[in-house]
Amino acid sequence: MILDAQHPLSSGLTADSRLIQAYQGVRPDVTPVWFMRQAGRSLPEYRELRVGTRMLDVCLDPELASEISLQPVRRHNVDAGIFFSDIVVPLKLVGVDVAIVAGKGPVLGKAVRTSADVDELTALDPAILDEALAPIRDAVSRAVSQLGSTPLIGFAGAPFTLAAYLVEGGPSKDHIHARTLMHAEPKAWARLMAWTADVTGRFLRAQVLAGASAAQLFDSWAGALSLADYAASVAPASAAAIAHVRDLTYSVNNVQGNVPIVHFGVGTGELLKEMHNIGADVVGVDYRVPLDEANRRLGGAVPVQGNVDPALLAAPWPVLEAHVRDVLERGRSAPSHVLNLGHGVPPDTDPDVLTRLVSLVHDVSAAE
């Protein structure tokens, strides 16, 4: 499907941006940089806006969600916005009893532990999202209208991460119930993964159609899996999720391109090749694996994103600067590199440090 002529990629607004070039494997004049969780708790303007609100209510308020998405772009001069939402939003909209509890995270009204539980859950039709996602489309459109040539990245949780929350009933350290269901009830597990893939894929597609110029699939909990389990029981569902975006193309000056897709996971150093093989264009790397080693594991032909250690954001500036320079140097081994964190911005991060880090990345890479 060809994107509408008014889409920022089709109109040429973002197609030649540093971010999109890097995502397409072309090394731009300056290394682009943005931060996972850049929109949120580290910004005083965000905390002020959130007073008296609940997380999911904010995510479903187009005016608030778009404004929060824009805040870090204004403040930090990053090369992309990331849409402010939460991976459980499509679960909420499809009819799942889920709430985000402060200090804990997503909590489900009922854990999905048996084949009968899976049948009950999957009776909820993901097709209702085509209408229910209207607030998300509105929020993306509002943000994009203000960003101009700065791309907005859409995002969604990978099927396994959503399934892990559903089966555990909330956050978990080892996701043992999800891993047990995977092996004890493989048919039920397959139904669950197909359903989460459809739900999260529709969420991602809605954002791109509304104006996002790239898409990122987050698999926060895939690091709990063995390579064999990931390849056999998870990767096919992740491929199905991004298939909702994989067919979207655009044309600028008679040159056709695809909407770039990034795949990121936490603790997934052993899974990088499989994560690329689902059909992703770019692989996000967490802070545990150096980028030159990640590039080697990926065969030297895949754009990478990452991987500044978030813990060093609170270190003395000379320590952080040396680390960032090292990340940039290691990133040069790959075809292209988008600098990011190896996970999200910690909530107590000094925003001025992030602004200074962006300037450092731009200055250092421009001088190379």
Catalytic residue ranges: 37, 41, 50, 86, 165
Minimal CA–CA distance to 341: which of 366, 307, 316? 307
SS3 39: coil
Rounded to the nearest 5 degrees, what angle is found at the Cα of 106, between the Cα atoms of 105 and 107?
A: 115
Minimal CA–CA distance to 110: which of 51, 47, 177, 155? 177
Q: Which residues lie below 8 Å from residue 117, measured CB to CB, with a gap of 6+?
A: 110, 111
SS3 197: helix
Minimal CA–CA distance to 312: which of 291, 337, 287? 287
CA within 13 Å, CB half, 353: 23
Nearest-angstrom CA–CA distance, 178 and 134: 31
Inter-CA distances, 308 with 51, 157, 316, Å: 30, 21, 15
Nearest-angstrom CA–CA distance, 229 and 233: 6
Strand partners, 147: none
Calculate the CA 287 to chain-centre distance.
16
SS3 122: helix
Name the token pair of 30. 């300056």
Minimal CA–CA distance to 327: which of 367, 295, 290? 290
CB 274 within 8 A of CB 308: no
SS3 346: coil
In one-letter notation, the amino acid at residue 304 is V
Helix%, strand%, coil% for the chain, nearest 5: 50, 15, 35
